[in-house]
Amino acid sequence: MNNMKYTVAVIGVGVIGGMIGRELTRYGIKTVMLEKGNDVALGASKANSGIVHGGYDPEPGTLKAKLNASGVEKLFNTALELNVPIKRNESFVCAFSEEEKEHLDVLYKRGHENGITALEIIDGDKARELEKNLSESVVAALWVKNAGIVCPYELTVASVGNAMDNGASLVTDFEVTSISKNGDAFEITSKDGRTVYADYVINSAGAYSGKIASLVGDDSIEIIPRAGEYLLLDKSEGERVSRTIFQVPTKEGKGILVSPTVDGNLLTGPTAAVVASPANKETTADGMNKVNTLALKSVPTVNFRNVITSFTGVRSSNKDGDFIIGESAACPQFINVAAIDSPGLTCCVSIAEYVIDILKGIGLTLEKSASFNGKRNDPHFFRKMNDDEKNEFIKANPAYGRIVCRCEGISEGEMRYAVRTNPPARDLDGVKRRTRAGMGRCQGGFCSPTVMKLIAEERGIGKEQVTKNGGGSYIVTEKL
């Protein structure tokens, strides 16, 4: 791949880089997406709340407010096109005192200023009528009717896959460590000495976007990493609430939520704590206690004995509190898409379109490509079939008849498909994010050895070369 020349290089492949890559292929632009990890969606796009935020929260006049307002419907439409599960489950922002109730008025007004009208303030009784497990202490709620839930890593995988199906290249294990100008083109070099060339660079490296900007002499971006810890509960808790239940936001953020996920689990969290490095992804006893206590304040019947896993996501915040999207003042044709903290997931499509407008504005000729196909095959087609259809399908492809992940009911066929489809899964966690194998109650305890064997067969490598999540995370060393 050395010396490959592209029109646009996208550095960092989370949901933002993926959506920008996809949008570029809509115009037939020769695009490369460069990712330091061995897969996509390994940063904030892997570990967040997965909420499609209604748009009442950002300060009016900010880029966040504008892109949130336009982003909600764009995201719903795009997720449907890409066959990514998304649901308009609505949300409640709950007030527990008269003082907090006044804050709901502020949010309501702010929402209207941002152009969001699908809002209503209701009293505690009405809220409990709609959500029977809501706490008796809730005195009022802001009912956000345009809000939803989506699977963030599936969305990322799907956007990157669709970009690749439309001609974009993905290069993983490519940690950008230097960028220089060679004539008109950027020369982008990885830690292991590989180089690509591009006329334009998009910096969508999430928590590391400040570091990437500084490679071209732009020291204007200071990312403040803020960790958020979560507890994820088994599907037996999945119907505890149908809407996403927030508390009145504080200076620290949107507070602890209780929400169903699109896959039928119950999610609680996140905390908010500034951390020294974006790599700080540990979960802590303090964090877990905080999530537990505050979630029970909203929904007292949540049974925390049914927690199946905990995880931490790191937000890319900055001092101003707004997204930083634009051509770098220090380096022409280098576009920063930085400080994309919440509601960045909600805004991913509107951000991608905004970046396209910036590129047009600085001279890139963009004409829609007739061959672009924005649709993506449904990777979950098999589990959506009825029994007769499944039987027919299994006759032609018996691998779909062998259930490997018993918790989630995922077959060998679906796992092999995940390793063959763009962007291909390369390790256990990659298969997990694409198929849900290992996401269930046993968290991969039973199926991991078989998944490992399938990955080894599909990739033509030995089992001892299969990793859990790249790097040195090998699972077995040799045959005894």
Residue 355, both tokens: 């970046």
DSSP state of 424: P
Is residue 53 within 8 Å of residue 73, measured between CB atoms? no
Question: Angle CA(61)–CA(227)–CA(205) in degrees, nearest 5?
Answer: 65
What lies within 8 Å, CB to CB, of 64 at 6+ separation is 58, 321, 322, 323, 343, 347
Task: Specify whether 53 is catalytic.
Answer: yes
CB of 290 to ligand FAD, least distance (A): 13
Stretch 116-175 residues interacting with ligand FAD (CB under 6 A): 175
CB of 149 to ligand FAD, least distance (A): 8
Which of 337, 334, 338, 331 has its CA nearest to residue 217?
A: 331
Q: Identify which of residues 36 and 240 has a Cβ nearer to ligand FAD in the complex.
A: 36
64 counts as binding ligand FAD under rule CB under 6 A: no
Which of 340, 7, 13, 363 has its CA nearest to residue 162?
A: 13
345 counts as binding ligand FAD under rule CB under 6 A: yes
φ, ψ dihedrals at 47, nearest 5°: -125, 85
44 counts as binding ligand FAD under rule CB under 6 A: yes
Report the residue from 58, 270, 379, 413 that binds ligand FAD according to the rule CB under 6 A: 270
Report the residue from 315, 426, 432, 468 that binds ligand FAD according to the rule CB under 6 A: 315
Residue 252, both tokens: 């620290």
CB of 374 to ligand FAD, least distance (A): 19
Q: Are strands 266-269 and 224-233 parallel, antiparallel or unpaired?
A: antiparallel
- Angle between helix 15-26 and 348-361 (nearest 10): 50
Q: Identify which of residues 49 and 336 has a Cβ nearer to ligand FAD in the complex.
A: 49
CA distance linking residue 342 with residue 302, whole number of Å: 25
The amino acid that residue 90 corresponds to is E
Per annotation, catalytic residue among 53, 103, 112, 380: 53
Q: Identify which of residues 36 and 66 has a Cβ nearer to ligand FAD in the complex.
A: 36
Report the residue from 10, 16, 79, 352 that binds ligand FAD according to the rule CB under 6 A: 16
The amino acid that residue 36 corresponds to is K
CA distance linking residue 385 with residue 377, whole number of Å: 14
- Contact stretch for ligand FAD (CB under 6 A) within 47-55, 86-94, 123-131, 410-418: 47-55
Report the residue from 24, 241, 314, 410 that binds ligand FAD according to the rule CB under 6 A: 314
Query: x/- site string to ligand FAD, residues 201 to 230, per CB under 6 A?
Result: ---xxxxx---x---------------x--
CB of 323 to ligand FAD, least distance (A): 9
Residues with catalytic roles: 53
Chain contacts with ligand FAD (rule: CB under 6 A): 11-17, 34-37, 42-45, 48-51, 53, 175-176, 204-208, 212, 228, 270, 313-315, 340-346
